[in-house]
Chains A and B, each alone.
Chain A
């Protein structure tokens, strides 16, 4: 059978009944929109979580006092844990046999950096880091050098500037060797970091990195704040074992009793994504249920409209049959019409869903996501609906007796 003819007929029929077709399509659009919209939004968040973790390369894991994703209201349980401090970290280091790099860090927000008469806004971040931090966090410098072990041991007043901070303070001057001031204290610039871009919409370049020991002098005691530890294991095969060693040794150092939970959280990128997926599972299921109901309703709508169409066009079917249309020609014609109707609804739903889902990306300045898999699933679902709900009306049309159909008023 001639597909162009089938297509032409379907198109004419939909054009002929614009309002009716539109209303029928609306159900499909809403069903597909709700599922694609939610899935896209979740993909955007997931993408963003993954982007955010790229700072931690593969083969890296973190240890913190608080879990990264906190679902329950166990805040007190976590809060009452002993801080992860620098002393624990230093006791831990010599015990580790597998880990390649281990670092500790702490952060402070809303600082102002000054150089001579120039000053940044109060939106700069200070990171206190141990040496080797460049390996656990993929930090690279455009100029100068990293924080060394000697800097850490001596608590030297040296900083590596983030590229944004360097741009503000030093336009045409080489920053290396210059002194900047933070909270009235002088630091010598020893490096300028490579631009790192944004994460969750926040700049990663408005920073100064200084030795953690120096940081403690001005911003809290060595045992006062809880640090983040970061570990990196280059050999993928030893990752699990290396992580287990860290956990075991840390439990011993912190005196966690046998049978008790860890008094800290250890997580990898993969475990974070798992946690994220667990959190969003409920949302996914809810969206799937809503979409199923909407799609079922729209399927019934399509069946209804196709039955109306068939009875309105009984005479046309009679004429076509009298001219030599076979049962399957008529069957295909009406199946195809149902298919086009639902696919149009599906495509509109997918487009709106992807736009809607990405609104969150635009608002939160995260990267745009096009969920190919869900778009294809959407189209397949639409075809399924057309097939299921379009087949009875099409079968009815195909089975019409030519004489009766021609005589139909």
Chain B
């Protein structure tokens, strides 16, 4: 059974008289432990798709199922099924998001940043610390856990973000241009980490502009004008 099913997804922005179709009928299925990269020109709808998969955004219409749960369903009036709070819980339990701009909270230590999903998940303190530390060890940052983001390099910050994304054992890890702000050496370190996560059994969807990075995945989806242009599975 697919982990993720998107059926005829539209995301339409109405700006005055102009209608922007960020997603214009997208169908995707992703299996458990797949490693998918999404490519496409700027403005083709990659981030919009990631945000909908990550339950940060809701489609204008279309159906979305994640891990057997109906998150959005095509009904007559096109309204969503999951409530705000339900979406928050799904983001907390099922999704690990890695952003291009890291999005760490600047006043907190690396450890506290990694703890945040567990705090909102109601994990007791002792277990929380243990899991956050383990996640930081996994990204080889155990020795920096009491540092704040501005005391870390870009690569180290993205590692903290990776640790934060994996700390809650999500069903799926979403990375929207995770290496977009990094030099090529650091990019490859981060990508090695992500490859490892895949090898350990995680499902990964990755947006990138770079072919060599996209080639690491088993499947490359090309987007164009809010639609899936090409969808190549490697054997």
Which of A's residues lie within 8 Å of B, judged by CB?
1-2, 4-5, 12-13, 16, 315-316, 318-327, 329, 402-403, 406
Nearest B residue to A15 by beta-carbon distance? B107
B119–A2 contact, CB under 8 A? yes
**A322 with B121: in contact, given A316-B105, A327-B84 (CB under 8 Å)?**
no
Which B residues from 136 to 154 make CB contacts under 8 A with A? none
B56–A403 contact, CB under 8 A? yes
A327–B120 contact, CB under 8 A? no
- Assembled-state Cα–Cα distance A383/B103 (Å): 33
Question: B116 interface residue, CB < 8 Å from A?
Answer: yes
- Assembled-state Cα–Cα distance A12/B107 (Å): 7
**A323 with B92: in contact, given A403-B51, A403-B56, A403-B57 (CB under 8 Å)?**
yes
- Assembled-state Cα–Cα distance A345/B56 (Å): 38
**What residues on B are CB-neighbors of A327 within 8 Å?**
84-85, 88
- Assembled-state Cα–Cα distance A153/B99 (Å): 104
Which B residues from 98 to 153 make CB contacts under 8 A with A? 99, 103-105, 107-108, 116-117, 119-122, 125
**What residues on A are CB-neighbors of B97 within 8 Å?**
322-323
**A329 with B103: in contact, given A321-B88, A322-B97, A402-B56 (CB under 8 Å)?**
no
A17: min CB distance to chain B, Å: 11
Question: B93 interface residue, CB < 8 Å from A?
Answer: yes
Question: B54 interface residue, CB < 8 Å from A?
Answer: yes
**What residues on B are CB-neighbors of A5 within 8 Å?**
119
A324–B56 contact, CB under 8 A? no
Bin the interface of chain B by size. Answer: 20 to 34
**What residues on A are CB-neighbors of B57 within 8 Å?**
402-403
A406: min CB distance to chain B, Å: 7
**What residues on A are CB-neighbors of B105 within 8 Å?**
316, 319-320
**What residues on A are CB-neighbors of B28 within 8 Å?**
none
B56–A325 contact, CB under 8 A? no
B56–A329 contact, CB under 8 A? no
Nearest A residue to B168 by beta-carbon distance? A324
**What residues on B are CB-neighbors of A1 within 8 Å?**
120
- Assembled-state Cα–Cα distance A326/B55 (Å): 13
Question: B91 interface residue, CB < 8 Å from A?
Answer: yes
- Assembled-state Cα–Cα distance A315/B99 (Å): 13
Question: B89 interface residue, CB < 8 Å from A?
Answer: yes
B17: min CB distance to chain A, Å: 22
Question: B164 interface residue, CB < 8 Å from A?
Answer: yes
B132: min CB distance to chain A, Å: 13
Q: Which 9 A-B pairs have the closest CB atoms?
A: A324-B92, A324-B120, A326-B88, A323-B117, A402-B56, A12-B107, A319-B103, A326-B85, A324-B91
B51–A324 contact, CB under 8 A? no
A325–B107 contact, CB under 8 A? no
- Assembled-state Cα–Cα distance A151/B91 (Å): 97
- The interface bits of chain B over 201-230 (1 if a CB of A lies within 8 angstroms of the residue's CB, else 0) are 000000000000000000000000000000
A55: min CB distance to chain B, Å: 61
Query: Can you list 18 residue pairs at the A/B interface with Cβ under 8 Å?
Result: A4-B125, A16-B107, A315-B103, A316-B105, A319-B105, A320-B105, A320-B116, A320-B120, A323-B97, A323-B117, A323-B164, A324-B88, A324-B168, A325-B120, A326-B85, A326-B88, A327-B85, A403-B56
**A325 with B103: in contact, given A2-B119, A402-B56 (CB under 8 Å)?**
no
Given A324-B120, A325-B120, 9 extra CB contacts under 8 A: A1-B120, A319-B103, A320-B120, A322-B91, A323-B92, A326-B89, A327-B84, A403-B56, A406-B56
Q: Which residue of the partner chain, among B88, B103, B117, contacts A406 with CB atoms under 8 Å?
A: B103
Q: Which residue of the partner chain, among B54, B119, B122, contacts A322 with CB atoms under 8 Å?
A: B54
Nearest A residue to B51 by beta-carbon distance? A403
Nearest A residue to B88 by beta-carbon distance? A326
B24: min CB distance to chain A, Å: 18
Nearest A residue to B57 by beta-carbon distance? A403
Interface centre among A16, A324, A402 (most CB of B within 10 A): A324
B51–A323 contact, CB under 8 A? no
A329–B120 contact, CB under 8 A? yes
**A323 with B116: in contact, given A315-B103, A406-B103 (CB under 8 Å)?**
yes
B103–A326 contact, CB under 8 A? no
**What residues on B are CB-neighbors of A319 within 8 Å?**
103-105
**What residues on B are CB-neighbors of A320 within 8 Å?**
105, 116, 120
**What residues on B are CB-neighbors of A324 within 8 Å?**
88-89, 91-93, 117, 120-121, 168
**What residues on A are CB-neighbors of B119 within 8 Å?**
2, 5
**What residues on A are CB-neighbors of B104 within 8 Å?**
319
A336: min CB distance to chain B, Å: 14
B56–A322 contact, CB under 8 A? yes
- The interface bits of chain B over 43-56 (1 if a CB of A lies within 8 angstroms of the residue's CB, else 0) are 00000000100101
**What residues on A are CB-neighbors of B85 within 8 Å?**
326-327
**What residues on A are CB-neighbors of B91 within 8 Å?**
321-324
Nearest B residue to A316 by beta-carbon distance? B105
